[in-house]
Structure formats: structure tokens, C-alpha cells
A and B are shown apart, each in its own frame.
Chain A
Amino acid sequence: EAAVTQSPRNKVAVTGGKVTLSCNQTNNHNNMYWYRQDTGHGLRLIHYSYGAGSTEKGDIPDGYKASRPSQENFSLILELATPSQTSVYFCASGDWDSYAEQFFGPGTRLTVL
């Protein structure tokens, strides 16, 4: 069954620490996305990728890096985590063939203390 999975599901980090959020998809989609959801903002796009080896900046990329080592995997990296990065992070995959529908993972709740 096609799916998007995220790990970890919950993470508590300290300010200044490095955090890596991982995403895996079995949809065989070319495109993958990282969003964050905050009250009053909906979902905002951080980084996205069109395929293995590619990463593109989204609307709010500052403080985040992304890595797409393979078709299936897409990581979001916070090199120096800050409390303002406390949020719920969603990974998604999609393709033009699916009429732009994006399939979301279950989310990762990150708290930076």
C-alpha cells in the first residue's frame, strides 16, 4: 500500500542542537515536500524536491536544509534548532500524473526547548 512515513513522530530538542526529520515514500512519486503547520498560518512550504539529488527552497527555507538522497527518502535538517522552529512538520509526495494531489505523512511534532 502506497504510503508516506515520517520519523520520528515526536521530538524534543535543545536550542542549538541538530535535528534531522526523515521521510520515506513508497508512492514512487518524483516530488516530495516539507511543510510546517502553525496555528494561524496553515501549512507553509519549507523545501521541496523534484527527484533524487534535487532540493528547492520553498516559501520559508531559512534555518532549514533538505536532502534527497533517493527517490524514496527526503530529509529536513535543522543545523541549529531554535524555539521558533517548534511546530508540526509534514512531509508529502506527489506527481503531475496524480493531478497535483499530494499525499501526506502523519506529521512530526517538534519541540525545541
Chain B
Amino acid sequence: AEKVIQVWSTASRQEGEELTLDCSYETSQVLYHLFWYKHLLSGEMVFLIRQTSSSTAKERSGRYSVVFQKSLKSISLIISALQPDDSGKYFCALWELAMGYKLTFGTGTSLLVDP
């Protein structure tokens, strides 16, 4: 079974709108981190934001924020005021202490933002 699931493979929005990308995960670990990365059209993989399992703070980084529902094993990335440069592929990833230092990635959601 997949450990990290991103249900939507594609999404499209207009410039200025807000988007929520959903991710669900499976883990039995107490300590874990969840990451959102963006794969740029240029090929780079860029770190966006991190959520730690032990934190109840609502993580934010610029126009990015997350909604972390630990009991549901769900994390959503919210991107506000979308810009055409936000187009790209967004990956959710899980890091578990017991699995060493590796990340387990979801299959990603490709976003297209129209001007």
C-alpha cells in the first residue's frame, strides 16, 4: 500500500485564486515530518514547507501554509494569491525517524495557473 497519497494528479486555477492540495499518509511512528516540495518547470526541486508531527503550530511560509490534521493523517498545502510562476508539480513527502533518513514521496499534483 502507498504510504503517501496525493489523490489529485492535476489542478488548474486562475491567477489570484487560492488552491488547496491534499495529501494523506500512513505511519505508525510518533515522530515524523511532512514536507511539501515543488518541482519547477526548469527541473529544480524546491523545498516549500515542513510540518513536524509534534507541533501544533500552523506552519506558514510566505504564500504557503498547511492544514495538519494529525488524527486523520492528513496534510494540506494552501497556496494563496496564485501566480503563473506557481505552475509546476507539488509533492508531499513523509520522513519517519524509524526509517532512517529517507523521504517517501507521493505521486505529485501538477498545477497550472492561468494568467
Q: Give the B-binding residues of A (Cβ under 8 A).
A: 9, 31, 33, 35, 37, 40-45, 48, 50, 56, 58, 88, 90, 92, 94-96, 99-107, 109
A81 CB, min distance to chain B CBs, angstroms: 21
A42 with B101: CB separation less than 8 A:
no
Task: Give chain B residues whose Cβ lies under 8 Å from the Cβ of A107.
Answer: 43-45
Identity of the chain B residue whose Cβ is nearest the Cβ of A10 in the assembled complex: B43
Of all chain A residues, the one with the shortest Cβ separation from B44 is A106
Which residue in A41, A45, A104 is a CB contact (below 8 Å) of B107? A41
Report the Cα distance A66→B3, complex, angstroms: 25
Report the bound CA distance from A37 to B91 in whole Å: 11
B106:A101 contact, CB within 8 angstroms: no
From B33, B93, B102, contact of A99 by CB (8 A): B33
Asked whether B60 is an interface residue with its Cβ less than 8 Å from the other chain, the reply is no
Point out the residues of chain A lying under 8 angstroms from B43, CB to CB. 9, 88, 106-107, 109
Which chain A residue has the least Cβ–Cβ distance from B108?
A42
Count of chain B residues near A, Cβ 8 A: 24
Which residues in A have their C-beta under 8 angstroms from that of B33? 99-100
| Complex Cα gap A100–B52 (Å) | 10
Do the beta carbons of B101 and A94 come within 8 Å of each other?
yes
The reply to whether B91 and A42 form a contact with Cβ atoms under 8 Å apart is yes
Within 8 A of A (CB), among B20-50: 33, 35, 37, 39, 42-47, 50
**CB pair A33 B102 closer than 8 Å:** yes
> What are the interface flags for B75-115 relative to A under an 8 Å C-beta threshold, 1 for contact and 0 otherwise?
00000000000000001010100001111011110000000
Best-buried of A9, A42, A43 by chain B (most CB within 10 Å): A42
Q: Could you say which residues of chain A place their CB within 8 Å of the CB of B44?
A: 104, 106-107
